[in-house]
Amino acid sequence: MGFFGFLRKKKKFEGLAFEGGPGDRTKSAVLIRGAPNHLAGVLAEYDYLSKKFGNRDTEWHVTSQTLLNPGRRYYDRMDIKLSDGTERTIFFEITEFFGKR
Protein backbone atom coordinates (compact mmCIF):
# COMPACT_ATOMS: atom_id res chain seq x y z
CA MET A 1 0.00 0.00 0.00
CA GLY A 2 1.39 3.41 -0.97
CA PHE A 3 1.55 6.56 1.10
CA PHE A 4 -1.78 7.91 -0.17
CA GLY A 5 -3.45 4.55 0.38
CA PHE A 6 -2.23 4.57 3.96
CA LEU A 7 -3.60 8.06 4.56
CA ARG A 8 -6.90 7.22 2.90
CA LYS A 9 -7.40 4.28 5.25
CA LYS A 10 -6.38 6.29 8.32
CA LYS A 11 -8.41 9.45 7.68
CA LYS A 12 -12.05 9.96 6.82
CA PHE A 13 -13.10 13.39 5.68
CA GLU A 14 -16.76 13.94 6.36
CA GLY A 15 -18.62 16.59 4.44
CA LEU A 16 -16.64 16.12 1.23
CA ALA A 17 -18.75 16.69 -1.89
CA PHE A 18 -18.27 16.81 -5.64
CA GLU A 19 -20.17 19.49 -7.53
CA GLY A 20 -19.93 21.25 -10.86
CA GLY A 21 -19.81 19.58 -14.22
CA PRO A 22 -18.20 16.56 -15.83
CA GLY A 23 -14.71 18.08 -15.73
CA ASP A 24 -14.05 18.08 -19.46
CA ARG A 25 -12.89 21.75 -19.35
CA THR A 26 -12.26 24.44 -16.72
CA LYS A 27 -15.74 25.95 -17.16
CA SER A 28 -17.28 22.58 -16.29
CA ALA A 29 -14.65 21.46 -13.77
CA VAL A 30 -15.42 19.05 -10.95
CA LEU A 31 -15.64 21.24 -7.85
CA ILE A 32 -14.41 19.66 -4.63
CA ARG A 33 -16.18 21.03 -1.54
CA GLY A 34 -15.38 20.48 2.11
CA ALA A 35 -11.74 19.40 1.91
CA PRO A 36 -10.12 20.58 5.16
CA ASN A 37 -6.68 20.90 3.57
CA HIS A 38 -4.70 20.46 0.37
CA LEU A 39 -3.81 16.81 0.98
CA ALA A 40 -7.43 15.87 1.60
CA GLY A 41 -8.41 17.65 -1.63
CA VAL A 42 -5.81 15.78 -3.67
CA LEU A 43 -6.94 12.47 -2.16
CA ALA A 44 -10.50 13.42 -3.12
CA GLU A 45 -9.40 13.92 -6.74
CA TYR A 46 -7.99 10.40 -6.88
CA ASP A 47 -11.06 8.97 -5.16
CA TYR A 48 -13.29 10.70 -7.71
CA LEU A 49 -11.26 9.25 -10.58
CA SER A 50 -11.38 5.77 -9.04
CA LYS A 51 -15.14 5.95 -8.64
CA LYS A 52 -15.53 7.07 -12.24
CA PHE A 53 -12.92 4.90 -14.00
CA GLY A 54 -12.14 1.99 -11.67
CA ASN A 55 -8.98 0.88 -9.90
CA ARG A 56 -5.98 3.17 -10.19
CA ASP A 57 -2.91 1.61 -11.85
CA THR A 58 -5.11 -1.24 -13.15
CA GLU A 59 -7.90 0.45 -15.07
CA TRP A 60 -6.35 3.91 -15.33
CA HIS A 61 -3.19 5.82 -14.47
CA VAL A 62 -2.15 9.47 -14.37
CA THR A 63 0.05 10.54 -17.27
CA SER A 64 0.38 14.14 -16.07
CA GLN A 65 -0.99 16.54 -13.50
CA THR A 66 -0.83 20.31 -14.02
CA LEU A 67 -1.77 23.24 -11.80
CA LEU A 68 -3.61 25.99 -13.68
CA ASN A 69 -4.36 29.50 -12.42
CA PRO A 70 -6.24 31.45 -15.09
CA GLY A 71 -7.37 34.38 -12.98
CA ARG A 72 -8.53 33.99 -9.40
CA ARG A 73 -9.34 30.27 -9.50
CA TYR A 74 -7.05 27.25 -9.22
CA TYR A 75 -7.52 24.07 -11.23
CA ASP A 76 -5.82 20.69 -11.35
CA ARG A 77 -5.67 19.24 -14.84
CA MET A 78 -5.40 15.47 -14.61
CA ASP A 79 -4.45 13.65 -17.80
CA ILE A 80 -5.14 9.96 -17.47
CA LYS A 81 -4.86 6.90 -19.68
CA LEU A 82 -7.43 4.12 -19.41
CA SER A 83 -6.54 0.44 -19.68
CA ASP A 84 -8.03 0.33 -23.20
CA GLY A 85 -5.59 3.08 -24.31
CA THR A 86 -8.15 5.91 -24.26
CA GLU A 87 -6.75 9.20 -22.95
CA ARG A 88 -8.92 11.56 -20.89
CA THR A 89 -8.46 14.95 -19.30
CA ILE A 90 -10.38 15.87 -16.16
CA PHE A 91 -10.30 19.34 -14.60
CA PHE A 92 -10.83 19.85 -10.86
CA GLU A 93 -11.53 23.29 -9.40
CA ILE A 94 -9.39 23.34 -6.24
CA THR A 95 -9.56 26.99 -5.13
CA GLU A 96 -11.32 26.15 -1.86
CA PHE A 97 -8.49 23.97 -0.52
CA PHE A 98 -5.42 24.93 -2.57
CA GLY A 99 -2.49 25.67 -0.25
CA LYS A 100 -4.42 24.95 2.98
CA ARG A 101 -2.46 23.14 5.64
DSSP letter for each residue of 42-72: HHHHHHHHHHHH-SBTTTEEEEEEEEE-SSS
- In this prediction, residues 41-50 reach a mean pLDDT of 94
Checking if the pLDDT of 59 tops 60, the result is yes
Checking if the pLDDT of 54 tops 80, the result is yes
| pLDDT reported for residue 4 | 53
- In this prediction, residues 48-68 reach a mean pLDDT of 96
- In this prediction, residues 25-47 reach a mean pLDDT of 94
| pLDDT reported for residue 71 | 86
| pLDDT reported for residue 70 | 86
Neighbouring residues of 90: CB distance < 8 A, sequence distance ≥ 6: 23, 24, 30, 48, 49, 77, 78, 80
| pLDDT reported for residue 30 | 97
Checking if the pLDDT of 79 tops 60, the result is yes
Query: Taking the domain 18-93, which CATH number applies?
Result: 2.30.30
